[in-house]
């Protein structure tokens, strides 16, 4: 199957939102227009997918790539296009770990909980950063700045404990150096391109 369109950023190709069919039913029968960013994605990319059930996963992936996550309106738009029930899409999407349903923070901090990192104190690292950011693993800070995640192993055990900040792998991290890394990331409005550093070195 030809992949229609590329995974552009939400701002691209937003000039011609589809006027027709751009409304969906909300609970209680009220009908509201969808979120404009979703409509832009749909007009630019989504509408070109063939309207068959085999488009479900490619469309979910396309929407997430474009919007950063799968807002409810994106599933509504896909459901409308494919003539399936929105909850059917949610059933598919929520089965896979690759899809996220909450808007991610501007920065992403991933703490490794693999065996080697655990032995080198990653659980204390996680406890401290959770207390510091006032957010549980898997969540996003109230100001929308940081999403904190845990992974099972990064495969960089020699550098344990490992924390990835915005795609940059940091080895031998301590609670203090992690706080500094997160603070430093917060200085940049956009995530910096990923590279490897040894924070403790």
Partner 1 sequence: MLNLTINGRAVQVEPGKSVLDACRSASVYVPTLCDDPDLEPYGACRLCIVKIEGLRGLPTSCTTPAAEGMKVTTEDPELLEVRRWTMQLLLADHPLDCLTCAQCGSCDLQTVAMHLGIRERVLRPMARDAKIDDSNPCYAIDMRKCILCGKCVRACAEVQHLGAIDLVRRGYASAVEPFGGGPIRDSLCESCGECVERCPTGALTARRYLRPEREVSTVCPYCGTGCRILLGTRGDSVVSARGDHDAPVSRGRLCVKGRFGSFEFVSHPDRLKTPLIRTAGGFREATWAEALGLIASELKKYRGDEFGGLASAKVTNEDNYVFQKFVRAAMGTNNLDHCARLCHSSTVAGLALSFGSGAMTNPADDLSDADVILVTGSNTTENHPIIGLKIREAVERGAKLVLFDPRQIQLSQIATVWARQRPGTDVAWINGLMHVIIREGLANREFIESRTEGFQAVEKLVAWYTPERVASITGVPAGLIVDAARLYATAERGSIIYSMGITQHTTGVDNVRSLANLAMLTGQIGRPGTGVNPLRGQSNVQGACDMGALPDVFSGYQKVADAGARAKFERAWDAKLSDRPGLTVTQMLPAALEGSIKALYIMGENPVLSDADATHVAAALGKLEFLVVQDIFLTETAKLAHVVLPASSFAERDGTYTNTERRVQLTQPVVPPPGQARRDWEIICDVATAVGYPMAYASTSAVDDEMRGLTPSYAGISHARLGTGAQLHWPCPSPDHPGTPILHRETFVRGLGQFHPAEYRPAAEETDASFPVVLTTGRMLEHYHTGTMSRKSKALHGLVPGPFVEVNGDDAKRIRVKNGDPVRVTSRRGSIVLPAKVGSRVEAGVLFIPFHFWEAAANVLTNPASDPTAGIPEFKVCAVRLERAPDPGPS
Kindly tell me which of 26 and 103 has the beta carbon lying closer to partner 1: 26
Q: What's the closest the beta carbon of residue 96 comes to partner 1, in angstroms?
A: 8
Q: Which is nearer to partner 1, 2 or 95 (CB)?
A: 95
CB count within 10 Å of CB 197 equals 14
**Which region, judged by CB under 8 A, interacts with partner 1, from 90-98, 102-110, 127-135, 177-185?**
90-98
Q: Per rule CB under 8 A, is residue 56 in the interface with partner 1?
A: no
Among residues 155, 147, 158, 140, the alpha carbon closest in space to that of 198 is found at 158
Applying the rule CB under 8 A, the residues between 12 and 41 that interact with partner 1 are 23, 25-32
Tell me the two tokens of residue 197. Answer: 């550093």
Per CB under 8 A, 94 contacts partner 1: yes
Contacts of 176 (CB under 8 A, 6+ apart): none
Among 88, 130, 168, 175, binds partner 1 (CB under 8 A): 88
CA distance linking residue 165 with residue 39, whole number of Å? 31
N-term to C-term CA, the chain: 48
List strand residue ranges (DSSP E) for 31-160, in order. Answer: 31-33, 107-112, 146-151
How many residues contact partner 1, by CB under 8 A?
21
At closest approach, how far in Å is the CB of 182 from partner 1?
Answer: 29
Which residues of this chain interact with partner 1, rule CB under 8 A? 23, 25-32, 72, 75, 83-88, 90-91, 94-95
């Amino acid at each position: 199957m030809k992949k229609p369109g590329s995974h552009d950023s939400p701002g691209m190709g937003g000039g011609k939102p589809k006027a027709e069919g751009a409304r969906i039913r909300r609970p209680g029968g009220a009908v509201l227009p969808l979120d404009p960013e979703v409509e832009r994605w749909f007009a630019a990319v989504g509408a070109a997918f063939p309207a068959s059930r085999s488009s479900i996963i490619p469309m979910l992936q396309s929407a997430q790539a474009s919007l950063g996550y799968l807002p409810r309106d994106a599933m509504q738009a896909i459901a409308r296009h494919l003539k399936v029930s929105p909850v059917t899409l949610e059933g598919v999407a929520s089965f896979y770990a690759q899809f996220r349903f909450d808007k991610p923070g501007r920065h992403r901090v991933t703490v490794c909980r693999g065996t080697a990192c655990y032995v080198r104190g990653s659980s204390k690292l996680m406890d401290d950063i959770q207390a510091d950011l006032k957010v549980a693993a898997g969540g996003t800070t109230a100001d929308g700045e940081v999403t904190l995640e845990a992974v099972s192993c990064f495969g960089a055990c020699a550098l344990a404990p490992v924390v990835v900040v915005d795609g940059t792998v940091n080895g031998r991290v301590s609670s203090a150096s992690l706080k500094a890394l997160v603070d430093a990331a917060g200085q940049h409005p956009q995530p910096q391109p990923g590279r490897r550093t040894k924070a403790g070195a």
